[in-house]
Structure 1
Amino acid sequence: MPLISTIAMIDPAFCTAESVSLWTRSTSTLLRLLMHPQWVLPLLLAWIVLPWLLKIQRRKWLYSGTGVLLLLAYGFLGSPLTINLGERFLARSLPPDSGQSTQAIVILGRGTELRPQRVETAIALWQAQKNQSDGKAPLIFASGTGDAIEIAEMLKAKGIPESAIDGEPCSRTTEENAQFTAALLQPRGIHRILLVTDLPHLRRSWLTFQSLGFEVIPHASPLSPDLSERRTALLVVRECLGLVTYGLLGRYEPRTVTEMPIAIAASARSRFGVRSVPADHR
């Protein structure tokens, strides 16, 4: 049974089911496949061996050699070296979190496995800002379908007051995270945010949110200790590709919010009402 939030955020019924891009669907499917060596390795070994078993006379060396190269690449992609090099590339140019106060802490959803680390990170940041600001604390805003409502309930269960929690359960991509967050927070005068997500995802998220007019302080939450080395490496590789792809799509240049998030945000404001400025969340 789906979780029904008691926190006043956008009703999921307001969300529109537009198709996710071919790139997102393809990379997600490929990532899920590559995380299962019990499927991938037999396929690659068959690629190498079958030309010889079938006695293919032409180009069997080419077919087998290609299979060997793919096998070596698959081994490299799941290695600690891939994680190290990829994270260095993804962390480049990220500004440090100096601890300055912000108007909102935005948590990006990333699935069940990484949810607890994000919640704990956000709570620690929220408490630190509250202590530094004589009891004033920023709004905690959760973004992502399948994550926002669950994160909000976890925050509430950890003692964060409902008045300090908000979010949107509509977005399915980093681009939509930024679009919906901007549509809901900027009309309330919230422009300076602390952005919480895992390190591989952080640079792309930071640049995307910044392009929509936010002053963004990026803050990395730890990856789950239960995440396998191979899955971590493939996550890093996917984020490297995503970072380049978003750049080619122009998503780091200054832009305005698109019509769909604005329309959904307007519907939500008319139903729930919205504070014009962040409240003093004591």
Structure 2
Amino acid sequence: MLLNKLIHLILLPPLSLLLLYATGLLLRRRHPRLGIIARRGAVGLLLVLSTNIAATALLRPLERMEPPLLAPAARGAQAIVILAAGSMLRAPEYGNQDVPDYITLARLRYGARLQQETGLPILVSGGNADPVRGLQPKAEGMARALREDFRTPVKWVEAGSETTAENAANSARMLAPAGVRRVLLVTDAMHMARARLVFERAGLEVVSAPTAYFTTHAFSPLQLLPSASGLSGSYYAVYEWLGLFWYKLRY
């Protein structure tokens, strides 16, 4: 798992661009023209990817692959599956428990709304536990938030997965004894295409229930300026495009 994270960091901005710039520095004596191209390319790409307009251009095609869910009660689903994103570790205001981060909370909120509209049972999925470091499975924090903060029941807690593909395989196995074949799948709009792919490969019929659209804002000239939010959006966009490409090759 640590190796996978290291590979992700190397492939994704900004580290990938910093490595490109460093390569340019190494080339400046023996291959000065290539060195200049590498350094200027790294700086140029960093500036472009740091703008919200570039992030939007990368994210919008991902989000448009799956339209918003309409009339969820009429889609014939048997359960709701909510995928984890991240956690806020050892939150002091919650007694040093790990709690869902804002991305996971957006998914939980929409999942709770769907449960209220449909009455369907909920499965939460997400692991990444590390007893040595005291990290709790994400799904446990999700279930606790749904029950305590959203007053929403949770029937299944899948706490052993570390990737979206494992979310799918483990969830399918957990739902099989209950005869669940068709699910409402809740995750970010940008993540939905990749998640749907592996859940269908795991044998489930998927009704996409995307949430957390990041490209619905109106255009502003400020989107042309580099910002931390722009670089963050581009990071997630590149991550999802690479992930979707890899999953299509592998699954």
Provide closer, same or farther for how the CA distance between residues 192 and 70 of structure 1 changes in structure 2, counting only shifts above 3 A.
same
CA offsets per residue over residues 232-251 of structure 1, 9 Å max, x none?
211011100110111111x1
The answer to whether the Cα contact below 8 Å between 1:44 and 1:71 also exists between their aligned partners in 2 is no
Superposed displacement of residue 140, structure 1: 1.1
Q: CA deviation at 1:168?
A: 0.8
For the 8 Å contact 1:123–1:155, the answer to whether it is kept is yes
Partner of 1:140: 122
After the TM superposition, which residues 24-63 of structure 1 pair with which residues of structure 2 at under 5 Å, given as runs?
Answer: 24-30=4-10, 34=13, 56=29, 58-63=30-35
**Post-superposition CA distance 1:82-134 (Å, at most 9, x none):** 322222332344255232332111111110231221111111111121xxxxx
Number of equivalent positions? 212
Q: How does 1:206-225 map to 2 (within 5 A)?
A: 206-222=196-212
- In the alignment, the residues of structure 2 paired with residue 229 and residue 220 of structure 1 have an alpha-carbon distance, to the nearest angstrom, of 22
Question: Structure 1 CA distance, aligned partners of 2:2 and 2:21?
Answer: 32
After superposition, residues 267-278 of structure 1 pair within 5 angstroms as none
Q: TM-score, normalised by structure 2?
A: 0.73
Q: Counterpart amino acid of 1:244?
A: F
Alignment of 1:166-205 (within 5 A): 166-205=156-195
> Could you tell me which residue of structure 1 aligns to residue 149 of structure 2?
158
Pairing partner for 1:87 from 30, 35, 59:
59
The answer as to whether partners of 1:87 and 1:199 remain within 8 angstroms in 2 is no
Unaligned runs of 5+ in 1: 1-19, 130-136, 252-282
Shift in Å at residue 64 of structure 1? 2.0
Task: Give the CA deviation at 1:222.
Answer: 1.4
State the identity %.
30
Partner SS state of residue 216, structure 1: strand
Inter-partner Cα distance in structure 1 for 2:26 and 2:68: 52
Cross-structure match for 1:270? none
2:196–2:208 contact (8 Å) kept in structure 1? yes
| Alignment correspondent of 2:232 | 231
1:17 match: none
CA RMSD of aligned residues (A): 2.8
- TM-score, normalization by structure 1: 0.66
User: Over alpha carbons, which structure has the higher Rg?
Assistant: 1
